[in-house]
Every structure is written in structure tokens, then in C-alpha cells.
Structure 1
Amino acid sequence: MVSLDIQPNILIVDDDEDILSMLHLTFKKEKFTNITLCTNAEEGLELVKTSNFNLILLDVMLPGKSGFEILPSIRDCSDAPVFFLTAKDTDFDKLTGFAFGADDYITKPFNPLEVVARSKAILKRTIHAKPTKNEAEEKIDFGYFRVDKRAAELIVDGETKECSAQLFQLLVFFCEHAGRVLTREQIYEHVWGSKGSFIDDNTIIVHIHKLREKIEPTPSKPVFLKTVRGLGYKMVKAE
């Protein structure tokens, strides 16, 4: 059962009809009703341009253009979370997917219930979270950068920086727990909504790298988002 106030719009792009049918059936069983299916990159991109989706599941190996190739164009017109679905399971492939801007990377063969679980978690965080009034109005100031949760804005050295929903969620989580070491399990559970076998170190590493590129004066020598070797990461006030 989907314990959400509204029905999210989900787009699934995959050239394998069996995978489309399996995912469509699984989402329907979990009470998701607004599911759009297509089998090629060009059609998927046109759908994104003309419709408002809350989540996009995108195969990498598609006829014509690949999922990697069209993701930048998707990002130009939508900030919906994007999950790559692919048989490419090397670390390099995963890092490539995240480098293109994906929010998650799910390798085939997969359990469709895991896909739905990850989808529920990110949808809850991106369109269904209902912060309290005090939380929504809170601004977090680190001097060099500040976070406006109400406006969902990141301002770095006086300049507004674009930030995906997933990356902004990660930043807020660190800022709200400044000075505290956060383990990878805590990070993955809070931001991606997954535990145990779902935890993917590459996902965290790539997003930490992308976040440092946003907020650090020199990303290779972080002064705010510190690595605590063997334990996790910690956000601190720069000295």
C-alpha cells in the first residue's frame, strides 16, 4: 500500500517488454497507478518534456541513444529523481551513471520489489515530506555557504548553486547534524531509505564528491565536509 497523499507520476523507459511488464505489475500491486511506459530514449525524452514526472526509471542500453546520453537533456527540463536500470554492473559503470547525474543505479537482474522500495523512499523524500513550519523556515549558515530549506536553495559565496533533490537532501542531512559523525549506514538509510544489502558505497562516495564540488572552496581539500576514516563523514564549521 502506498501511504502517500497524492499519486506520483512515474516514467519507466526500457526496451525489454518483459521488464516493463514486470515493473508495471509490481508497481500496480503496490497501489501506484500513474505509470507511463516507453521503449526508446527519444520517446522517453519527449515524454519528460511534455509531462511532469516525479520519478524516472531509465535503462542504460536503449536502441538509438543510451540512457547516459539522454540524461543531461532530461536534467535540462526536469529535476525528477532518475534511477538507472542496467546490466552493466562494474564500479566504473556505476560511477559513470552517477557522474551523469543519476540518483540511484540498479543492476539487472533485480528484484522488482527492491525497485519499488527504493522508489517509495525517494518519492517520500522528494515530494511527500511535510516538514514542520519551524523546519521549513530554518536557514543554516556556514559562512561560505548557506542552506535555505524553505526555498530549497544552496547559496555558495553569494551565488545560488543548482542542486538535485537527492544532493540537497544529503546536504541538509549533514547540516542538521553538524559536528556529528554520520556512518554510511545512517546516510544511506536517511537519504536513500535503504538498509542492509541495499547500501552501495559507490553511491555515497560519488554524492559526497559532488557535494564537495558544490560547497568547498577547494573540493580536493575539504574544510566543511570531512572524512572520518573508518567511521564516516562529518560536517563542520570552517575555522
Structure 2
Amino acid sequence: MMKKKVLIIDDDLNICREIKYSMQNETTDVYYALSAQEGFEQFAKHHFCLVIMDVSLSETDVFQLLKAMREVKPIPILVLSASAKSEEKISALHAGANVYLEKPYELEECLAHAQSLMRLYSELKPSESRHYTLVFGMDMMIDLARHQATLKGKPLDLTRKEFDLLFCLASHAGQVLSREQLYNQVWNNDSDFNVDDSVRNHIKRLRKKLTPSGREYIKNVWGGGRLLFLPGRYR
């Protein structure tokens, strides 16, 4: 039987270890990250059935992080917070948290909430095939299922071909692709179009729409119209 995986995101190592060693057993593996950046990268790359995170992480807007996580995967999120303010609790729940637990808390209560959320997730577990999202930090997310791409949290207004081209490039991040390769995958060898002109014009429009990020995602590689997609990283 495949083990369940739990992710803890908290900059307090003692809390991470306390929860980890209380939940780790023969059916559950528990991982932890001490920063939002590391936590989001682990969340995007691996399949977890629960996230336990502190909303007091100082390096980022945690509510933005919650929304980004909720956009990527429908995984239960248990939030820990030292704040008893109702506004923060409401904001966290609206942003994507399922349970809000105030610090200091009883470890048994935290574990009970965790087990409840994991049980609910297992019972309502979505089909894996429904989710195919490319995530590059919190800068860019490309959701194939919904045919939607977001840049720094804002939806990109892309045509069908522009989206397909972006998805193709991002799916081969770090690999050099020729215009002909892109054309064959995105246009399916449609003979009504000129290879170089079609790809060049769409790349030009796509670059323009990615300009607000302040980062050059699509780079020209010397030697005959070859392109390279370099993903941004969460900062």
C-alpha cells in the first residue's frame, strides 16, 4: 500500500519535529520545510494528502501562498497561527485553509484535525488524471485542465495557440527546441501555415504578454531559430 504523505511548513524547527514524529508511522510519511519557498516547491513537486502550515511566515504573503496552493491542487490545509484575530482567521479560510488552529494548541487536537482532514481527502480523493498543472514557483502556473495560465497571480489573456505554445515550451523547460519542433507539436503539421512565420509571430505576442513579469522566460538560442524556456523562481 502506498504511504500517505504530509507536508509541514513552519519556520520553527521544534514544531516541525514535534508534529512529524507524532504523525510518522508505517502508513504515513511526514516531511517539513522551514520556509515558504521550500514548502511551495515541495508542494508543487510531490503528492501530499495534507499540508500543515504556519501563517506567521515572515518572508511572504501567506494568504497569497494559500491561494496559490489551492489553485494548484485541492489538498486539505491545516493552518496554525499565533493570532486570535477573527479577521485573520476569516482571511485564511477564504484564501484556502480548511482548518484554523490557534497557537498554543494541544498536540492531540492538532493531530485529530489532521487525521480528520486526511480521512476526508482519502474518501473524496480526486482523479489524478484531472490535474496536470505546471508550476514555476509562485511566478507562473499553467493549468492544462482549465486551459489557463497565471503570471504573478494574474490570469494571462492567451489565445488557444498561445496557450498551447506556452505549455509546450514550459513542458520542456531547460530544453532547446527548434521552431519546427514547436510547430509540429502545437500546429500538428498544419500545412496551411508557414512554419517560421507562424511560430515567430506567436512567440513575439507571447513574449509581450509575459513582459509584466520583468523576466525573460523565452530566450533565443544561437543557431537557426531555436528557443529555450527558462522558468522563473519563487522569490
- So what's the TM-score if we normalise by structure 2? 0.50
Structure label with greater radius of gyration: 2
TM-score (norm 1): 0.49
